Amino acid sequence: MPHINLPSEFPGIRSLFMYRPETAAPLNHLVQTLLHDPHPTLSAGERELIATYVSRLNTCKYCSNIHGAIAKHQLGGDGELVELVLADPDTAPISTQLKALLKIAAKVQAGGKQVNADDIAAAREAGATDVELHDTVLIAAAFCMYNRYVDGLATWQPDDAELYDKMGKQRASEGYMTAPFKVNRTEQQLQNS
Amino acid sequence: MAHIKLKNEELPGIVGLLNYRPETARPLLDLAETLLRGESTLTSGEREIIAASVSYWNQCHFCHTSHAAAAVAHLKSGINLIDDIKAGLPNTPVSDKLRALLHIAHQVQRNGKNVTDDDIAAAREEGATDAEIHDTVLIAAAFCMFNRYVDGLGTWAPGPNEAYLEMGERMAHVGYGKY
């Protein structure tokens, strides 16, 4: 049960967005800008992988599942790549640059001060630009917020891979600003949640 | 020196980052304005104390001191409030409700899942509403972002508390993203 009285038809952060539209607007605008809007160099798939990886490090089930699904659809349906990155970015078939950015993202997740000059130098060596470094740090930081928001209020986080895939497909094609699916639950399901 | 080349290296903390990337600055400022100065049954002074406390627990000197200075400006408390927040407010008269909400904020700072039913019940016992619990969790979560953003890019920050008083006045009485 969520810690506060939230609409029951929406999972995770979507129930919080419905509950408080005043804060939903900037939160949604931020994620749209960071992950979906055109970026000079990072693809939406790469940015979603950073968001998914940080959410997994924060053990946020809803955020890691939904962004994992969005990442998959942004990467041409390659769900296996998402799993390989989550298991170990160092051995996953991704560029050395993205590996270096994921390393910085993990440092940010542990604490901003963990990022050191060597981490930055390694990313630059692999070709990372200032805007990429900036956005990697801000995506990682932002997911330290979204994850805590979703878990801190004990929102409903379904175990339903098909549902995440359907929602992920929608977000990958439409971005973050369109209305979410309603998920109707029975009385029994509500009591068990 | 920051980890990236900012457009204006004289601007401290998050100010230099907001100036560097206006596309992300807009929603970040709107979020701070809504959470800390928007309509709420918590006063802006109370909300700035939550923001400053979380920033202290995250060891972000710039965010802690600037938001504590905003609390000083709202509450007309005097500069000692800045260090009192670090110590857990032993010398500041705050409500038991705010202390219960600060406990929830501290749990969120560690990880969202640390917030327990008992923590929520204790806050309700002191009169906290759903909206107040919601905003406390989101303020704490948001400062886990702002703090990591500011420190993760290695921005510089003024040292002494006194250097933040004027900034705190502007944050409190002019607002976020308004000049």
The string of pLDDT tens digits covering residues A108-163 is 999 999 999 999 999 999 999 999 999 999 999 999 999 999 999 999 999 999 99
pLDDT band, very low/low/confident/very high, at A185 (cuts 50, 70, 90): confident
Q: How confident is the model at residue A193 (pLDDT cuts 50, 70, 90)?
A: low
Please report the residues numbered 90 through 149 in chain B whose beta carbons come closer than 8 angstroms to any beta carbon of chain A: 104, 107-109, 111-113, 115, 117, 120, 130-131, 133-135, 137-138, 140-142, 144-149
Size of interface A-B (CB pairs under 8 A): 149
Q: Which two tokens stand for residue A83?
A: 């799993």
Q: Which amino acid is at B107?
A: Q
Contact list, B147 vs chain A (CB under 8 Å)? 112, 141
Per-residue pLDDT band at A190 (split at 50, 70, 90):
confident
Which one of A134, A139, A150, A157 makes the best mutation probe of the B interface by having the most chain B beta carbons within 10 Å? Answer: A134
Are the Cβ atoms of B145 and A23 closer than 8 angstroms? no
- Asked if A63 and A146 touch (Cβ cutoff 8 Å), the reply is yes
Average pLDDT, chain A: 96
Q: Do B120 and A3 touch (CB under 8 A)?
A: yes
Q: Which of left, alpha, beta for B157 (phi over 0: left; psi -120 to 50: alpha)?
A: beta
The dihedral formed by the CA atoms of A29, A35, A41 and A43, expressed in degrees to the nearest 10: -150
Between CA A33 and CA A47 the distance in angstroms is 11
Cβ distance A151 to B26 less than 8 Å, yes or no, reads no
Say which of B38, B39, B141 has its CB closest to residue A152.
Answer: B141
Q: What is the mean pLDDT of residues A66-72?
A: 98
Band of residue A186 on the pLDDT scale cut at 50, 70, 90: confident
Question: Is the CB of A153 less than 8 angstroms away from the CB of B23?
Answer: no
Domains of chain A: 42-177 (1.20.1290.10)
Query: How many whole angstroms separate alpha carbon B156 and alpha carbon B168?
Result: 17
Is A59 within 8 Å of B34 when comparing Cβ atoms? Answer: no
Say if the Cβ atoms of B141 and A149 lie within 8 Å: yes
Q: Residues 6 or more apart from B135 whose CB is under 8 A from it? A: A23, B35, B40, B42, B47
Q: Whole-angstrom distance between the N-terminal and C-terminal Cα of chain B? A: 26
Q: What angle do CA A14, A16, A20 make, to 5 degrees?
A: 120
Residue-by-residue pLDDT tens, chain B, 179 positions: 899 999 999 999 999 999 999 999 999 999 999 999 999 999 999 999 999 999 999 999 999 999 999 999 999 999 999 999 999 999 999 999 999 999 999 999 999 999 999 999 999 999 999 999 999 999 999 999 999 999 999 999 999 999 999 999 999 999 998 75
**Which pLDDT does position B153 carry in this prediction?**
98
pLDDT tens digits, one per residue of A84-108: 999 999 999 999 999 999 999 999 9
Instruction: Determine whether the interchain pair A19/B134 forms a contact, defined as Cβ–Cβ distance below 8 Å.
Output: yes
